[in-house]
């Protein structure tokens, strides 16, 4: 059986095994399943299965005689055209049905595409995940910090390490920092410029937030330091855009000043 023959039968809708067996019968006429299996190289159980399929497609007929081996013979190739026509008619009907529901499917897809992807992390895992994500994305970040007080110093080493990595990756940071007396610093404030940080300071009484917010790419990371170290990471173009607009408004109305370099981190308390 040539590749051309195989392709022609496949174009009519026959599988590789169906095409081989039907073509064999066209060339050899009546034959038992054993001979068909041997000559086509198709296993005996599969040969019987395919023969039954071809019978259902009205391309092969079975001849049974009492006490004799069952034989199979091909029916006229014109049946192939009839089979192809039936497949085409079925495909057209399915296309019509699909056309009637495509609008609903598209709406569902668009709704899914715009649905925010939200993930929750506990402990330092969330800090590390956000840090790694920021470095992998490589885009500049916006951050509204919350103060680190006693009891949250375990994240300071992560902050210091991240500040260095972000600067090495040429990731710039704009930070809005509430001013707090006695605030714990991860790095000297004089090193902001060295680490590509631009900062504005606002009075703590106006922005004493328990959770820190970082905006990068289409993502917003919010970390709660007040009770437990919990991070919520939201991936949504429009939610990220909303936080950017809020940040820019606060930036325009904030005071210039120096804060702590720790504000480049996704975690503070």
Task: Give me the pLDDT at residue 60, please.
Answer: 93
pLDDT in tens, 37-65: 999 999 999 999 999 999 998 899 999 87
Q: Which of 27-31, 75-79, 144-148 has the lowest mean pLDDT?
A: 144-148
Interatomic CA distance for residues 228 and 260, integer angstroms:
22
Band the pLDDT of 185: cuts 50, 70, 90.
low
The domain 117-264 is classified under which CATH number: 3.30.870.10, 3.40.605.10, 2.40.40.20, 3.60.110.10? Answer: 3.30.870.10
Band the pLDDT of 84: cuts 50, 70, 90.
confident
What letters, b where the CB count within 10 A reaches 16 and e where it falls short, cover 154-170?
Answer: ebbebbbebbeebbeee
Q: What angle do the packed helices 156-168 and 124-137 form, to 10 degrees?
A: 0
Q: Which of 7-16, 159-168, 197-206 has the lowest mean pLDDT?
A: 7-16
Band the pLDDT of 66: cuts 50, 70, 90.
low
Averaged pLDDT for residues 17-28: 91
Residues 6+ apart with CB under 8 A from 134: 141, 162, 166, 171, 214, 216, 266
Asked if residues 265 and 171 have their Cβ atoms less than 8 Å apart, the reply is: no
Task: Give me the pLDDT at residue 261, please.
Answer: 38
Tell me the pLDDT of the chain averaged across its residues. 84
pLDDT at 183 over 50: yes
| Domain boundaries for CATH 1.10.10.10 within the chain | 3-82
| Domain boundaries for CATH 3.30.870.10 within the chain | 117-264
Task: Give me the pLDDT at residue 151, please.
Answer: 57
Band the pLDDT of 131: cuts 50, 70, 90.
very high
pLDDT at 204 over 70: yes
Interatomic CA distance for residues 129 and 120, integer angstroms:
11
Query: What is the architecture, at CATH level 2, of domain 3-82?
Result: Orthogonal Bundle (1.10)
Give the SS3 label for residue 227.
coil
Averaged pLDDT for residues 242-258: 82
Task: Give me the pLDDT at residue 149, please.
Answer: 63
């Amino acid at each position: 059986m040539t590749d051309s023959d195989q392709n022609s039968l496949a174009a009519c809708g026959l599988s590789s095994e169906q095409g081989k067996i039907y073509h064999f019968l066209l060339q050899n006429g009546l034959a038992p399943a054993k001979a068909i299996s041997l000559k086509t190289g198709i296993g005996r159980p599969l040969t019987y299965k395919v023969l039954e399929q071809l019978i259902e497609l009205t391309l092969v007929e079975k001849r049974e005689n009492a006490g004799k081996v069952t034989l199979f013979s091909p029916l006229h190739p014109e049946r192939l055209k009839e089979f192809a026509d039936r497949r085409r008619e079925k495909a057209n009907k399915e296309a019509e049905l699909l056309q009637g529901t495509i609008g609903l499917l598209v709406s569902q897809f668009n709704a899914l595409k715009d649905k925010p992807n939200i993930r929750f992390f506990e402990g330092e895992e969330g800090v590390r995940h956000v840090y790694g994500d920021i470095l992998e994305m490589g885009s500049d970040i916006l951050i509204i910090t919350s103060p680190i007080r006693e009891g949250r110093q375990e994240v300071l080493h992560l902050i210091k390490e991240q500040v260095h990595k972000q600067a090495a990756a040429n990731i710039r940071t704009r930070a809005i920092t509430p001013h707090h007396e006695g605030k714990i610093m991860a790095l000297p404030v004089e090193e902001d410029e060295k680490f590509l940080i631009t900062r504005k300071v606002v009075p703590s009484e106006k922005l004493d937030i328990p959770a820190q917010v970082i905006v990068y790419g289409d993502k917003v990371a919010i970390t709660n330091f007040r009770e437990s170290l919990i991070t919520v990471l939201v991936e949504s173009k429009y939610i990220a855009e909303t936080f950017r607009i809020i940040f820019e408004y606060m930036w325009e109305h904030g005071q210039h000043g120096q804060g702590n370099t720790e504000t480049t981190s996704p975690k503070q308390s």
